[in-house]
Amino acid sequence: MSELRQRMIDEMTLRGFSPRTHESYLATVKDLARYYKQRPDQLNMEQVRQYLLYLERERHLSWSSLNTAVSGLRFFYFDTLKWQPVKLDIPPRTTPRRLPEVLSREEVDRLISKVPNLKHRTLLMTIYAAGLRVSEAIALRVHDIDSARMTIRVVQGKGRKDRYTILSPRLLENLRQYWRQYHPKQYLFEGSQPQCHIHESVPQKTYKLAKQQAGIHKGIGVHTLRHCFATHLLEAGVDLRTIQTLLGHNAISTTMLYLQVRQQHIASHPEKFDLLAIPSKPADL
Q: What is the CATH number of the domain that holds 171?
A: 1.10.443.10
Active site residue 249: yes
Q: The domain that contains 68 carries what CATH number?
A: 1.10.150.130
- Is residue 34 one of the residues assigned to a domain? yes
> Do residues 71 and 115 share a domain?
no
pLDDT at 285: 40
Active site residue 262: no
> Do residues 63 and 120 share a domain?
no
> Do residues 29 and 128 share a domain?
no
- Is residue 275 one of the residues assigned to a domain? no
- Is residue 204 one of the residues assigned to a domain? yes
pLDDT at 274: 47
The answer to whether residue 40 scores a pLDDT higher than 90 is yes
Active site residue 258: yes
Average the pLDDT over each of 50-54, 82-86, 89-93, 121-125 and give the range with the smallest value: 89-93
CB neighbourhood size of 200 (10 A):
15
- Is residue 277 one of the residues assigned to a domain? no
> Do residues 119 and 188 share a domain?
yes
Domain boundary among 80, 114, 141: 80
Active site residue 226: yes
pLDDT at 62: 81
pLDDT above 90 as % of the chain: 65
The answer to whether residue 92 scores a pLDDT higher than 80 is no
> Do residues 138 and 259 share a domain?
yes
pLDDT at 1: 58
Domain count, the chain: 2
- Is residue 145 one of the residues assigned to a domain? yes
Alpha-carbon distance of 176 to 183, in angstroms, equals 10
Active site residue 232: no
> Do residues 69 and 149 share a domain?
no
Catalytic residue among 114, 158, 262, 265: 158
- Is residue 28 one of the residues assigned to a domain? yes
> Residue 254 — pLDDT band, cuts 50, 70, 90?
confident
Tens digits of residue pLDDT in 184-234: 999 999 998 878 999 999 999 999 999 999 999 999 899 999 999 999 998
Catalytic residue among 22, 110, 114, 223: 223
Kindly report whether the global pTM for this prediction surpasses the value 0.85.
Answer: no
Which domain, by its residues, includes 69?
3-80
pLDDT at 186: 93
Domain boundary among 41, 63, 80: 80
Active site residue 39: no
- Is residue 86 one of the residues assigned to a domain? no
Q: Which residue has the higher pLDDT, 270 or 94?
A: 94
> Do residues 13 and 122 share a domain?
no
> Residue 93 — pLDDT band, cuts 50, 70, 90?
low
The answer to whether residue 96 scores a pLDDT higher than 90 is no
The answer to whether residue 273 scores a pLDDT higher than 50 is no
The answer to whether residue 35 scores a pLDDT higher than 70 is yes
The answer to whether residue 41 scores a pLDDT higher than 70 is yes
pLDDT at 135: 92
- Is residue 284 one of the residues assigned to a domain? no
pLDDT at 2: 86
CB neighbourhood size of 127 (10 A):
25
The answer to whether residue 128 scores a pLDDT higher than 70 is yes
> Do residues 115 and 209 share a domain?
yes
pLDDT at 17: 86
The answer to whether residue 275 scores a pLDDT higher than 70 is no
pLDDT at 278: 47
The answer to whether residue 270 scores a pLDDT higher than 90 is no
Catalytic residue among 74, 120, 211, 226: 226
> Do residues 109 and 76 share a domain?
no
> Do residues 247 and 155 share a domain?
yes
Catalytic residue among 133, 163, 227, 232: 133
pLDDT at 272: 43
> Do residues 46 and 151 share a domain?
no
The answer to whether residue 145 scores a pLDDT higher than 80 is yes
> Do residues 122 and 41 share a domain?
no
Alpha-carbon distance of 250 to 257, in angstroms, equals 13
